[in-house]
Amino acid sequence: MEVTKTLDRFKALLYQLNDLRTASSVLGWDQETYMPPKGVEARSRQIATLARMGHELFTSPEMGELIQNLEDTGLPQWDPDSDEARLVRLVRYYYDKQTKVPGDWVQAFSKLTSEARVVWREARARADFNLFRPYLERIVDMVREYANFFAPYVHIYDPLLDNYERGMKTAQVRALFQRVRERQPRLLQRILERPQVDNAFLHRYYDPQKQRELIQRMVAHIGFDLERGRIDLSTHPFTTSFSVNDVRFTIRIKENDLSEVLSGGLHEMGHALYEQGVDPKYDGLPFGHGVSLGVHESQSRLWENLVGRSRAFWAYFFPVVQRVFPENLKDITPEDFYRGLNRVEPSFIRVEADEVTYNLHIILRFELEIALLTDELQVADLPAAWNEKMKAYLGVTPPDDAKGVLQDIHWSQGSFGYFPTYALGNLLSAQIWRAMARDLGNLDDFMRKGEFQPLLGWLQERIYRHGNKFEPQEIVQMATGETIQADPYLDYLEAKYGDIYGL
């Protein structure tokens, strides 16, 4: 009975913590979508207050005592893989991390990044890095300070990466990225030597409201529950979850680029499907969300690319799009549409990058982050270093800061260690797809008929329902039978684009 009472109190505090996190997330979602520009000062203060309250509650002596008590009395009698045992061990992991970070730092960092996001938007609008530079300098200093709370470490980047991909080390990421470098640039070079695919039809005028209605119809057909979610507009598309029954994502619409809403919408839908697929019994607990950003990104990239850029997908959905935009697409075939969406062309903007060049955008950011944190690169020199790497890796030089160093929101949020998870997600997406095909058979057959429930059901059973109960690499092993590898994704790219470009 004593263990039961302790566990009940433990969970009660965790639910309170989730309420504070959710309240902060609602404020953040509103800030990105509907908040008037002059609300930023008050909003920054509100978010900072909630961040501090959450940190103080989680790192309180009572929480520490509850964890210790359950470790002493609960863990010896529970199955090691039971929800109770896994929950205590997970909270211990988070508690040990957060008790090393002072509350004053948490509040100051939250306030700084809330303000920095607004300045970043203005700087990007003006294509002027110098507006954002002093904020980024302070953010880099505070991120270094954060990493040092976890010293000693093998690499200063390890504690940051661990925040997004639990258990992953910088050396592991470098090894995977090295394999990508060995094969992906060669594929890109071979493609660039071939005649280019035509996608001019994607850049005709497409009515924004019809685009919004189209993507909403598509994601609902695939399986996104609009009674437990919604779709809005924002500068930078993102997904947020307030509960398993309130999952929201945003899109960005360009009237002269239909691919933006299709790729971005399916990408964010992938994140949202994951969050809606978590077992409801975990709602409000630390289990109640995706296990890591790399695994999460595997789902957004799987739905965006392996599904949404496949020939079979458009065999079913192209007639739907053609009915919405009959004049724009009257001279286009499903094969034209498929090839146009898969055009490979080095570009400035990461979120618009094709599959063949995307990982190179990520490797660039990964290397710059490490250089900043190890003092090999100063913030003032970041735009020039960015442009040099863009030229070296992709053969293009951004014309201004907006299309270069200012294009991503992540650094304004202080999210160092985040970028590698995008490429890790790419690699995982192909591994997961291969495992799904082993179990279900030819996945194209389902997609040609518009039947997505078998795919979604497999993912819910193998990945989504578990939420954050298991370690990221345990989930990968459970779903695929392997640890994370680079070659399945590289094999997928070479087969797909070899076909499209006649290599």
Residues facing 241 on adjacent strands: 247
CA–CA distance, 198 with 122 (Å, rounded to integer): 35
CA–CA distance, 359 with 435 (Å, rounded to integer): 22
| CA distance between the termini of the chain | 68
Cα torsion 14, 18, 21, 27: sign: negative
Q: What's the CA angle centered on 351, arms 345 and 354, to 5 degrees? A: 30
Catalytic site residue from 115, 268, 275, 304: 268
Is the backbone peptide bond immediately before 152 cis, with ω within 30 degrees of 0? Answer: yes
Cα torsion 152, 156, 159, 165: sign: negative
Give CA separation, 395 vs 1, 106, 367, 368, 392, in Å: 66, 40, 17, 18, 6
Q: How many CB atoms lie within 10 A of CB 64?
A: 15
pLDDT score, position 103: 78
pLDDT score, position 107: 83
Question: How far is it between the farthest Cα atoms of the chain?
Answer: 73
CA–CA distance, 13 with 31 (Å, rounded to integer): 27
Residues facing 231 on adjacent strands: 249
Which residues lie below 8 Å from residue 271, measured CB to CB, with a gap of 6+? Answer: 239, 249, 290, 296, 299, 300
Strands laid side by side in the 229-233 sheet:
229-233, 246-251, 239-243
Write down the number of H helices and E strands in the chain: 20, 3
| Neighbouring C-alpha atoms within 13 Å toward the C-beta of 68 | 8
**Six-digit token string for 218:** 């598509």
| DSSP string for residues in 397-442 | --SSSTTTTTS-SGGGGT-TT-THHHHHHHHHHHHHHHHHHHHH--
Supply φ then ψ for residue 102, to 5 degrees: -65, 145
CA–CA distance, 434 with 438 (Å, rounded to integer): 6
Q: How many CB atoms lie within 10 A of CB 76?
A: 9
pLDDT score, position 1: 55
Phi-psi region of 248 (alpha: psi -120 to 50; beta: other; left: phi over 0): beta
Supply φ then ψ for residue 117, to 5 degrees: -60, -40
Residues facing 248 on adjacent strands: 230, 240
pLDDT score, position 44: 86
Phi-psi region of 127 (alpha: psi -120 to 50; beta: other; left: phi over 0): left
Residues facing 247 on adjacent strands: 229, 241
Residue among 311, 302, 360, 361 nearest 340 (CA): 311
- List domains and CATH numbers for the chain: 2-154 (no CATH), 170-501 (1.10.1370.30)
**Six-digit token string for 322:** 């053609």
Q: What does each of the 503 residues of the chain score in pLDDT, given as a tens digit?
A: 589 999 999 999 999 999 999 999 999 999 989 999 899 889 988 998 998 899 889 999 999 999 999 999 999 999 999 999 999 999 999 999 988 988 789 889 988 998 999 999 999 999 999 999 999 999 999 999 999 999 999 999 999 999 999 999 999 999 999 999 889 999 999 999 999 999 999 999 999 999 999 999 999 999 999 999 999 998 888 999 999 999 999 999 999 999 999 999 999 999 999 999 999 999 999 999 999 999 999 999 999 999 999 999 999 999 999 999 999 999 999 999 999 999 999 999 998 899 999 999 999 999 999 999 999 999 999 999 999 999 999 999 999 999 999 999 999 999 999 999 999 999 999 999 999 999 999 999 999 999 999 999 999 999 999 999 999 999 999 999 999 999 999 999 999 999 999 99
3-class SS string, 355-398: HHHHHHHHHHHHHHHHHHHCCCCCHHHHHHHHHHHHHHHHCCCC
Q: Using the structure block, give the residue that is written with the tokens 């950003």.
A: 293
- Classified as helix, coil or strand, 215 is helix
> Length of the chain in residues, anyone?
503
Catalytic-residue membership of 268? yes
